[in-house]
Amino acid sequence: MKFSLKNKVAIVTGGGSGIGKAISKTLAQQGAYVHILELNADNGTITKNEIEQDGGLAEIHACNVANQEDVINVINKISKEHTINILINSAGVAHIGNIEKTAEADFDRIYNVNVKGVYNCIFSAIPHMKKQGGVIINMASVAGSVAVSDRFAYSMSKGATLTMTYSVARDYMDYGIRCNAISPARIHTPFVDGFLKANYPGKETEMFDKLSKAQPIGRMGTPQEVADLALYLCSDEASFITGTDFPIDGGFIKLNG
């Protein structure tokens, strides 16, 4: 079977919802034993149950990726029972606003989760992965590569995610560790629906159409499409790929304008 992850152990942060959930379920379907790190343990439990109902293997670990001690403890616990082969850094938060509308507390929140959270997880997993090699995938964004209006703090965090990806790929190549990034444009997740309901009541359909058409292809992506790309990058079929960012954006970066 192509893209098999049989006998592989994967850690997925933010695996209880959206893109992280789709990745968790897809890796499990291909044979991986998936460990979900979630701040919202209830969401993580739902994903775990769905994986098990499909015959897969999963565990849920309540974890705040912004807290290094918390992350180290969870990953060390996992490593005592399993060899860690895959780390997917999918946990993240969003913020809308230019620099004048980004309060220090907003900036700190984005940094702590989207930047420090990625750092904490890689920092904690690398010592274990060095023993046998492995794969790290960081969820970045098109906002880390091109200008997107009113995404100052979010863009900062995703730019940092990209440069961490390149550094880790270079520094740990000799240990058999591959590190890549995925940069989605707009993906239709429950977050999008909640954002439209909160900010554009009564105009949800109109705004959804507008946001969809921001991608030249004319629609938003799906979490499953991102998960399928992540699956490929985790698989042995992608063994020649490292230190690369993969936009999955309906032409957003290259074809706009």
Q: Which residues are catalytic?
A: 154
Among residues 67, 61, 55, 91, the alpha carbon closest in space to that of 79 is found at 61
Picking from 56, 57, 60, the residue whose alpha carbon sits closest to that of residue 78 is 60
Helix (H, G, I), strand (E, B) or coil at 140: coil
Biggest alpha carbon–alpha carbon distance for the chain: 55
Rounded Cα–Cα distance for residues 58 and 47 (Å): 9
Q: List all residues 6 or more positions away from 194 whose beta carbon is below 8 Å from its beta carbon.
A: none
Of the chain, the end-to-end C-alpha distance in Å amounts to 41
37 Cβ neighbours under 8 A, 6+ residues apart: 11, 12, 13, 14, 15, 44, 61, 63, 65, 71, 74, 91, 121
How far is 118 from 99, CA to CA, in rounded Å?
Answer: 23
For residue 51, give every residue at least 6 positions away whose Cβ sits within 8 Å of its Cβ, in sequence order, or none.
24, 25, 28, 34, 57, 58
